[in-house]
Structure formats: structure tokens, C-alpha cells
Structure 1
Amino acid sequence: VRDLSPYTEYEFYVLATNDLGRGTPSVPVMVTTGETEPGSAPRNLHARTLSSSTVLVQWDPPKEPNGQVMGYNVYYTTQPSIPTLSWSAQTVDNNQLTTISNLSPQTIYTIRVQAFTSRGQGPFSSPVQVKTQQGVPSQPRHLRASAVSSTAIQLNWTRPVDPAEMVVGYELYWNDTFTQQQEHRSVPDSQSYLLEGLYPDTVYYLWLAA
């Protein structure tokens, strides 16, 4: 018997015929055809961001698994124009949910999923895109301080190196060797600040965070 569907249970029975008609059917037997690779892609793929470096990916099984789905290959990239098999990938056991970690902040990723059976891989799903959240900024660079008077210090610095890090302001901390008390002030987004109202002839320690 040919042209049957893969991994499908069929019932067969035989009966004899002659010129007078058909006889009594035999006892039926049940047979399941063998597996092959999935005939369709995973469905309803969607992704959502969990943090600046992690996304959650979910999907439904393929409509035509053609066998026992053993797992899924999850492919992801920031360059969707290159062949899918060249993307980064991770394998998921027979589950329709996974997380992808160690991603770059504020970056668009394209994701596709592929099911596989013991006989091979099926087609890729349609791609979906997700953008990771903004990460915590790295340190400001090249912080410099110079006394401009007996009670004021001029601060200058360079923004964090990654242009994707959206800086909205800075936090300035300082203490002195006289009172040994730590002070704090929020500074608008700029690359310089004049710190005034200080003690004369005093050593100050300063920290700046984006």
C-alpha cells in the first residue's frame, strides 16, 4: 500500500470475494507508518524581551510533525540577511518555550525555530523580531578634576563608549579629608560640571556614574 501519510495509524482488514459477493472481513490489524522529518514549521512563534540581555521565545508545534518531535533548533541573529544556518543557535528539548541570554542591550534580534524528529529537521518558521531593553550604562571615561578657585572644582569627562547606552544624567559622589562625609548630587546629561561650595585647602575624592 503506497502514498500513505507518515507516522499515521491505519486499520487494515481483508475480505474474500467471488461471483456471489463478498465474504466476512478478517480481524482488523492496526499499523503505524514510519517517521520522517517534519512537513511543516513550528507555528505562532513570538518573542518578548525580559531584560537588556535576555528574551523569551514561545511557539506551537508544527501542524505536520510526521513523527515524534524530539526537539527544536532556535536560531537568532542581528544580521538576518545571512543564511539561517549561519545564525547563532541553541537546541531545546521537546518544549515550546525557551530563553535566549547573553544578548546585547537595545539591539534588534531576528529569530526562527525549526522542529526535528529522529529522521531529520523540518522547515524553518517565519522570522520574528524582538528588541532587547536598554542596559545599565557603563562608566564615564576620562574623568578629570581641576581646582578653579579655593572653593570650586571643575569636572570634565567623556560619555560611556557604547553609543547604544542612552544616558539621561550622571550621579556625582564626593567626600573630603576634613569632614570625611560623603556627598551626592545628580548632574544633568553633559560632559562637564562645576562643583562649588567646597572647603578651602582640602583634598577631595570624587566618583561619577552614568
Structure 2
Amino acid sequence: PTYVPRNFRVLQMLDSTTVQFAWDPPLSSDEINIRGVLKAYQIEIFRLDDPVKSRLVISDILPNQTWTTVFNAPPNADVGAHIRIETERYFGPTSPVIQFPTREGRPGPVTNLRGVPYTSNGIFLLWDPPDETNGVIIGYQIDYKPIESIASQPGIDQPSILLRDDTRRNYLLSSLNPDTKYRVQVRARTSVGPSISPAIIELTTNLSLAPSKPTFTVTHRGQTFFNISFDPTIMTVPGSLYFVQYKENDKDDQANFKTSYTVSNDRTIFVNGLEAGKIYTTILVASDGIQAETKSDPQMVSTLNKDRAPRVINSPWFIGLIIAIVVLIIVFAIVCGIMKRKGGKYSVQDKEMLHGPSGYGDNDGKFSEYYRAPSDVSIKHSHISLHNGDDRDSMAEFNDEKDRSRFTEDGSFIGQYGRDDKRHTNLVKYDENDGFPNEYQNDDQGKYLSHL
């Protein structure tokens, strides 16, 4: 046959492994391409990243069907599928591959599950993650129970143990009966649920043995608590359970011991609810979980004293004050650096005003007495005179013979610039002795002291 089913498609995803497909039926004109009797349809489904090993073939789909449901599709994967027809003797060509993702599913069984009897009432379990995660592993589930026969089902008498750490690869089952056979099963978990097929082992616990004497160290102390740590692996016969007994070290030694919480898989015990500045007699107890207990040598552990006054150095306001002072010092240093770099640089006019008229005319003693320091007022008057006067400086404007005395031989102007209605300026020499003006009658001085 050369006929290829048309419009092969996914109708819907029912769950992580169940998919519904549909296609169009053949037309009467397609009989020439079928070349025989249409016996069935065949669908192949596979993972796109591993099409050979994951290939799943669904056969014997009736020829009059136009849709079907496929189970056991690869979960949490990018999946491909195609369809073809089957006649009495041959298969037709496959349709184009359609691609679609599947949802997260339940994982496969964990691998390499093993266990070791631990003391008289414990089993230490180890395992590896499943080969088929089918999603994101979020933890593991452990079920166990004593068995009397192979037909007994575990997980009935004891509640399931849920480990919410996906990196966990071991666990210590404690508080078991000595010399008893247990069936243990471990499942991986995703958000959908635990493994459908658990990994199972059966182990017998040891005879009852008293644990060896434990040792511990104080790892951290506070005003109302302290932590102790221990290592069961250095003990000849480790315990299944551990707890701390402690009491205040009073003078009469009449205080009763208090007991902390019990741990089995942890290696640290946190003792709190204590008083500051007190000394406590502390003992670590190792137990087989039934009745045998072994105590460590007592240690004197003291809590920290209360601070009589708050430490100012750790106060937020003090830290903020220090930061503000440092910032101000930095700003002050920058300003000083800028001022030092600009030192000695000021305007010439400020320098002249500072030294006064005596700073000018030292090299020319003839006319130093006529020096008048520049000022803002004189500068402003000069600008006013220039703007208000006629900008055509011509000798014709001064055609009167008597007015020609205003100019020198080279035409330089020493008198009033402008018409007679302008402001007059008198230049008068003051006597250096009495500070009063003197009248000068000679002609040479009259040239400089004339009324303008």
C-alpha cells in the first residue's frame, strides 16, 4: 500500500502516560492506494531523545476506528508518534511524525537498595536514585514491618516515613525489635506521587547488645542554650537512639536531670531553655531503643552571661554615627585639597584695591600723585558716557577755537568727552601734608587740572 492516513493528531492528554489520538478515515478514492483490504491501523510512539529504546507499538486498531487511546506513553518527555495502515500482507508508509510533550509522572523504582543491621534494633538503608525519574524527584518514602511469612504485606503496621530531601541516599531505621525479620521497601517521589513499583529487601536485626560508652563535644553556646555533637561511627557498638540528660550544677546537688529530645539519624542535639551564666552537668545517653542504655562521662557546660549594658559598638545608631563622621572627614579633606590647589589665585583688581594707589607709579615719579584707583563707579560712568555720546568722533563738532584747547597736538582727548550738558569731572591734587586741595597757577599744571 501507498496510502498514508491523513490529519493524524493528538486529541488530548488524559494524564502523564495516557494520550488520545485521532485521524481522518480513507475516502473511496483512496482504495487504489490501499491496494488490498485495510486490516488495521498501527501507531508507534517514542521519546525523541531515545527513539530506539523507548519505542512503543500499538497494533490491532480496528479499520473502522478514527481515534484511539494509548497507555504507557513516556511521561515527562518530548514524544513523537506516527501512524500507518496494515493490509493482509503489508504495512503502508508512516505518516509524518507529530511531536508533543507529556506531563510529569510517577518515578520508577529506586536502584541498588541495600541494608545493614545496625545494633540490635536498627537497620541502616542505602539506595540510588531511579533510572526513570519521570519528573523531578522531591524525596523518598520508606515502608517497613516485621514479617512472619513471604505473603505478608509491608507498610500496614507502621506509618510511612517521608524524606523530603531529594539528595538523601540513606536512612537509619531504629526502634526495631532485636532478632526480628523485617521487610523494607523504598520508593522515590515526584509531585505526582511515589513509585508504582517499590524496591524491596528483607533483613533480620541483631541480638540485643548494650551500646558502647559515647563521647560528645560542645560545638556552640549561648545565654540560654548549647549544642552538642557526637559521632556514632567511632563506637564499637553504636546506639540506635541518643538523647541528653542535663541539670543545673547547684551546691546541694539536689537538682533532677532533665531530658532532651531523642535523635536517631541526627548527629547534633540542641539543648535550650536554660538560664544565662549557669553551669550544667551534661550527659549523652546512647540507647538500643528497647531497654539498654549507656551514659557518657559527665561534662560541665556553662551558658554565657547576660550583658549588663548594651554594647554601644554594636548599636545601629553608633554605627551610623561613625559612618557619618567618616563621610564628613572625606568631604572636608576634598574641600581642603581644592582650596590649597586654588591658593594665591585672585583677580588683579582685588590685588590693586588691597595695595592702594601706592602700588602704581613707583617707576614714574612725575605723575604718581595724579593716580586715581579704578573703581566700579568710574567704570560705570565711562560706559554711560560712551553709550550716550555721539559715536562720530569728529573735530568738526569742536570748530570753536576756544574748544580746541581740549585736545593735545596729536588729537588725544584729555577733557570731557561729549557735549556741555554731560557730567563734569574735576581732577584735583590734594596736599600730602594737610589733606586739603591746593590751587595751582602755573600753565603746565593747568593743563592737567583744567576745569572740564
- Report the TM-score range of the alignment, normalised by the length of the smaller protein: 0.5 to 0.7
Q: Where in structure 1 do 4 or more consecutive aligned residues deviate above 6 Å?
A: 115-118
Amino acid at match of 2:9: L
1:138-185 deviation line (CA, Å, top 9, x unaligned): 25533213314x5544332333343447543212213389xxx93233
Q: 2:12 touches 2:21 (CA, 8 Å); kept in 1?
A: yes
Where does residue 69 of structure 2 map in the other structure?
99
| Superposition deviation, residue 91 in structure 1 | 5.7
* Residue matched to 1:191: 169
Could you say if the C-alpha distance between residues 65 and 122 of structure 1 is closer, same or farther in structure 2, counting changes exceeding 3 Å? Answer: farther
Report the CA distance between 1:97 and its aligned residue. 0.8
Find the counterpart in structure 1 of residue 46 from structure 2. 77
Query: Which has more radius of gyration?
Result: 2
Check 1:91–1:127 CA distance in 2 against 1; reply closer, same or farther (3 A cut). Answer: farther
Q: TM-score w.r.t. structure 1 length?
A: 0.53
**Cα pair 2:107 2:133 within 8 Å, conserved:** no
Amino acid at match of 1:76: I
Matched, 1:160 2:118: no
**Counterpart residue type for residue 113 of structure 2:** H
Match of 2:98 in 1: 127
Q: 1:56 aligns with which of 7, 20, 24?
A: 20
User: 2:25 touches 2:66 (CA, 8 Å); kept in 1?
Assistant: yes
Distance 1:66 1:204, change over 3 A: same
Normalised to the residue count of structure 2, the TM-score between the two structures is: 0.28
Q: Is the 8 A contact 1:37 1:117 kept in 2?
A: no
Task: Identify unmatched segments of 5+ residues in structure 2.
Answer: 149-155, 188-452
> What residue is the counterpart of 1:66 in the other structure?
29
Amino acid at match of 2:78: I
Matched, 1:170 2:133: no
Q: How many positions carry a matched residue from both structures? A: 164
Q: What is aligned with 1:12?
A: none
8 Å Cα contact 1:114/1:125 also seen in 2: no
- The structure with the largest helix share of the pair is 2
What are the equivalent positions in structure 2 for 1:199-210 lying under 5 Å apart? 199=177, 201-210=178-187
Tell me the residue number matched to 1:141.
Answer: 112
1:110 CA drift (Å)? 0.9
The letter for the 2-side match of 1:162 is E
Identity %: 16
Supply the AA of the counterpart residue of 1:57: F
Which residue among 75, 79, 83 is the counterpart of 1:113? 83
Asked if the contact 2:110/2:128 (under 8 Å) is kept, the reply is no
Please tell me the residue identity of whatever aligns with 1:97: W
Shift of 1:43: 2.2
Q: Secondary structure at the match of 1:184?
A: coil
C-alpha RMSD of the superposition: 4.5
Contact (CA 8 Å) 2:141, 2:162: kept in 1 or not? yes
Contact between 1:157 and 1:191, CA under 8 Å: does it hold in 2? yes
Whole-angstrom distance in 2 between the partners of 1:116 and 1:197: 62
1:37-95, Cα deviation, whole Å (9 max, x unpaired): 66x85226115444565432112346x7624584645343334998xxx9956463121
Q: Are the structure 2 counterparts of residues 157 and 77 from structure 1 closer, same or farther at C-alpha, using a change threshold of 3 Å?
A: closer
Q: Does 1:45 align with 2:13?
A: no
Given residue 196 of structure 1, which amino acid in structure 2 is its aligned partner? S
Q: CA, structure 1 residues 206+125, in 2 after alignment: closer, same or farther (shift >3 Å)?
A: closer
SS of the equivalent of 1:138 reads coil
Structure with bigger strand share is 1
